[in-house]
Amino acid sequence: MTDIIIEVTSKNFVEKVIKASENLPVIVDFWAPWCSPCKQLTPIIESAVNSFSGKVILAKINIDENQSIAAQMQIQSIPMVYAFFNGQVVDGFQGNVPESEVIDFVKKISELSGPDSGVKENLESLEIFITNSNWEDALKQANTILDIDQNNIDACYGKLISFIELKKFDDAREFMSILPEEILNEKKINEISLKLEIKEKSFEASKNFDDLKKFLEENPNDIQAHINLSNALFGVGKISECYSTLIQAIKIDPKWNDQEARKKLLSFINSHDLASEEARKARRQLSSILFN
């Protein structure tokens, strides 16, 4: 198995960096023992590379002991970081940049390697299972991918959405708690965390569905009752009725409690299916209420 953090010298630079980058991207960190910013960068870049294990290599070069390479690469100040892929420099940065930028840099370089053929085939199967709402198989497929590539964004998403749709909310939260920060900050993972919150609340509300429906029938102008029932409707999968219930609440008083009904409607639409006919109809009705 390839070491992901290695010490490189002038003698093995071609082998360990140039040639090795034909298989995996290689990030080269030029440093020196007397360099304070280098010492600050080291744990950050090493942690980031470890987070993308198997996707990128970190090669560390002490410029005091390898001056010929430093001269060849025209290193004038350190820390200096270059990324090699297919034998060529493809990116880099100089200085002690913020941790978030280091993580983004390593992530971008790691993606150059792309998924291996096995992961690619599994990802295609995962997408099919998700499209067909086959959540048990989607969960198994996501776990298979994560056994190979523990930081695969699509597999993390697949595992989370499967847990949510299977109503395994505690499992979803436990899985999220062990994900590295760079994964949690991904747009689709952020979006799924919102879906988790909405689905969990809706599922709990659905347990009192009959009582909530009866209360609204007895109190047709109670906006909070509309919102409570919408949670339950969403929880039992009655999406069209959920949206209609909130539209009725907005008609009664669009500004009630800082437009809570409107915000609730939009959160449901965003977490379910923006392109669905129910969503399009609800948005048209909402626009008609607010702008007429």
For the chain, what are the domain ranges? 5-113, 117-200, 207-291
Q: How far apart are CA 78 and CA 40, in angstroms?
A: 12
What is 5-113's CATH number? 3.40.30.10
User: Burial letters for 276-292: b for 16+ Cβ neighbours within 10 Å, e otherwise?
Assistant: eebbeebeebbeeeeee
The predicted model scores a pTM of: 0.56
For residue 115, what pLDDT band results from cuts at 50, 70 and 90? low
Percent of the chain with pLDDT over 90: 74
Q: Is the pLDDT of residue 110 over 80?
A: yes
What's residue 270's pLDDT? 87
pLDDT digits (tens, 9 = 90+) for 28-46: 999 999 999 999 999 999 9
Rg (CA), the chain: 26
Same fold for the pair 117-200 and 207-291: yes
CB 96, CB 123: distance < 8 Å? no
For residue 1, what pLDDT band results from cuts at 50, 70 and 90? very low
- The torsion angle over the Cα atoms of residues 2, 3, 5 and 10, rounded to 10 degrees, is -80
- List the catalytic residues: 35, 38
For residue 244, what pLDDT band results from cuts at 50, 70 and 90? very high
Q: How far apart are CA 119 and CA 43, in angstroms?
A: 29
What's residue 113's pLDDT? 77
For residue 53, what pLDDT band results from cuts at 50, 70 and 90? confident
- Tokens 């992530």: give the residue: 107
Q: How far apart are CA 282 and CA 227, in angstroms?
A: 15
Q: What is the DSSP string of 228-255?
A: HHHHHHHHTT-HHHHHHHHHHHHHH-TT
Q: Is the pLDDT of residue 238 over 70?
A: yes
What's residue 186's pLDDT? 87
Q: What is the DSSP string of 23-58?
A: TS-EEEEEE-TT-HHHHHHHHHHHHHHHHTTTT-EE
Helices vs. strands in the chain: H and E counts, helices first: 15, 5
CB 244, CB 231: distance < 8 Å? no
Q: Which residues sit opposite 6 in a β-bridge?
A: 59
Superfamily of domain 207-291: Tetratricopeptide repeat domain (1.25.40.10)
pLDDT digits (tens, 9 = 90+) for 55-102: 899 999 999 999 999 999 999 899 999 999 999 999 999 998 999 999
- Listed in sequence order, the residues at least 6 apart from 57 whose beta carbon sits closer than 8 Å to its beta carbon are 2, 3, 4, 5, 6, 20, 24, 25, 26, 27, 49
For residue 225, what pLDDT band results from cuts at 50, 70 and 90? very high
Long-range contacts, stretch 281-287, CB < 8 angstroms, 24+ apart: 281/240, 281/243, 282/243, 282/244, 282/246, 282/247, 285/247, 286/247, 286/250, 286/262
Average pLDDT over residues 204-226: 95
Q: How far is CA 184 from the centre of its chain?
A: 5
CATH of the structural domain 117-200, one choice from 1.25.40.10, 2.160.20.10, 1.10.1060.10, 3.40.50.10680: 1.25.40.10
